[in-house]
């Protein structure tokens, strides 16, 4: 496990009781359950990596689609 950072977490009384009961049942510290839950949440909801190829063909011009016929004129002709 990587280095841990201490933080404070505020829970409702009922959520705290549920967390403590789960920890007792599983024989694990409540903090371990919270770390596990945060890691799982982060994996499922975290930002997805964008492909490195995204934007590879970017011309920097904003009018390319408007000028497509002009820009492609003569292509395929000898």
The pLDDT, as a whole number, for residue 10 is 97
Q: What is the pTM of this model?
A: 0.57
CA-atom Rg of the chain in angstroms: 27
- Domains (range + CATH), the chain: 10-45 (1.10.1220)
The pLDDT, as a whole number, for residue 35 is 96
The pLDDT, as a whole number, for residue 68 is 85
Q: Could you state, in chain order, the average pLDDT of each consecutive group of 10 residues for the chain (78 residues)?
A: 89 98 98 95 82 79 85 81
Secondary structure class of 26 (helix, strand, coil)? helix
First vs last C-alpha separation in the chain: 64
| ∠ CA 54-59-63, rounded to 5° | 115
């Amino acid at each position: 496990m990587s280095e841990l950072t201490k933080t404070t977490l505020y829970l409702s009384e009922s959520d705290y009781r549920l967390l403590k009961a789960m920890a007792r049942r599983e024989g694990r510290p409540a903090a371990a359950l919270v770390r596990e839950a945060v890691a799982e949440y982060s994996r499922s909801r975290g930002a997805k990596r964008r492909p490195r190829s995204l934007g590879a063909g970017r011309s920097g011009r904003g009018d390319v689609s408007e000028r497509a016929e002009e820009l492609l004129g003569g292509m395929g002709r000898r």
